[in-house]
Amino acid sequence: MKKIAAGLVAGALLLAGTQVLGASSSLVGKAIQAEFTVNVYGKKLADPAIVIDGKSYAPVRAIGEIAGFKVSVDGKTISLDEKTESASFASSDRSPAVGPVPVVTPDPAVSITKSRIEVIDSKIDDAVDRILTASSQLKANPDNAELKLKLNQYKAEYADLLKQKDAELQK
């Protein structure tokens, strides 16, 4: 009897350990739920953005290079830095012309509107994530009425947020 009890305890410990391992935050081995085309400044990227667990991941190097950044990788760190033009000045005898830098005083109303739009954009991103997650869950269980209802609510929330953003942009 003691051997059986010891075997059950050992089995429970092994199963608990695998659950902890499965709960890690790494995306390695996770299933891709969707792929999206990415356009930067009207240019379509060759690599798609992917969705894993309701969050989208885009190809950093391609986006960074099109946006004009110097992209570098050091170990497990990706850096996006401004491209420097100093090399072109070093080859010539001329120094760059530097004039007065205009000081722009931001309009407080524009700043408030911009911050409202940023908040709405954040809510839109969250709504999209919930829609994608619910859609993928619904594919696995298409007869789940509660999930269908939630998906419709998320879509209605998304449409409402788009209307709010449009209203802010019209101001």
Residue 30 DSSP class: P
Residue 88 is predicted with a pLDDT of: 41
Residue 1 is predicted with a pLDDT of: 61
Chain-centre distance for alpha carbon 126: 10
pLDDT in tens, 88-108: 444 444 444 444 556 555 666
Helix (H/G/I), strand (E/B), else coil: 150: helix
User: Which positions ≥6 away from 121 have C-beta within 8 Å?
Assistant: 165
% of residues, the chain, pLDDT over 90: 13
Residue 13 is predicted with a pLDDT of: 53
Residue 153 is predicted with a pLDDT of: 95
CA distance 85 to 152: 51
CA 10, 13, 19, 20 dihedral sign is negative
